[in-house]
């Protein structure tokens, strides 16, 4: 199998796993407030949608690499600090607090 075929297969597999409009809704607690997200969403996507991460100057922040290398998306999940939001899928009832 060529590199192109492997890449295409990976992209197609990820599309199948992506949350769709009819995905069930999950309830999360983000920084003390309740929010609803689609099942299959990463915590990084949830934080980006809700504009939770801001720089020292107040500008919106987002994950840099999206694959867990840069640690730019660190959050506290259910009391466990320094978790990478881009690597964790949202679960119903999850408590998330972003690192300031």
Q: Give me the pLDDT at residue 16, please.
A: 53
**57-80 pLDDT per residue, tens:** 877 776 778 788 888 888 999 999
Bridge pairing between strands 95-98 and 74-77: antiparallel
Q: Report, as an integer, the average pLDDT of 38-65.
A: 79
Regarding the domain delimited by 20-98, which CATH topology (the fold level of the hierarchy) does it fall under?
Answer: Ubiquitin-like (UB roll) (3.10.20)
Task: Report how far residue 76's alpha carbon sits from residue 41's, in angstroms, rounded to the nearest whole number.
Answer: 17
- Token pair for residue 16? 């199948």
Domain boundaries, the chain: 20-98
The answer to whether residue 88 scores a pLDDT higher than 80 is yes
The answer to whether residue 10 scores a pLDDT higher than 60 is yes
Q: Return the DSSP state at 33.
A: E
Q: Are 32 and 11 in contact (CB under 8 A)?
A: no
| pTM of this prediction exceeds 0.85 | no
């Amino acid at each position: 199998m060529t590199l192109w075929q492997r890449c295409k297969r990976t992209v197609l597999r990820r599309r199948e796993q992506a949350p769709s409009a009819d995905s069930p809704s999950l309830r999360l607690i983000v920084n003390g407030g309740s929010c609803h997200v689609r099942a299959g969403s990463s915590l990084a996507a949830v934080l980006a949608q809700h504009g939770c991460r801001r720089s020292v100057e107040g500008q919106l922040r987002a994950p840099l690499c999206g694959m867990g290398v840069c640690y730019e998306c660190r959050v506290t999940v259910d009391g466990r600090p320094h978790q990478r939001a881009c690597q964790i899928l949202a679960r119903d009832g999850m408590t998330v607090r972003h690192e300031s």
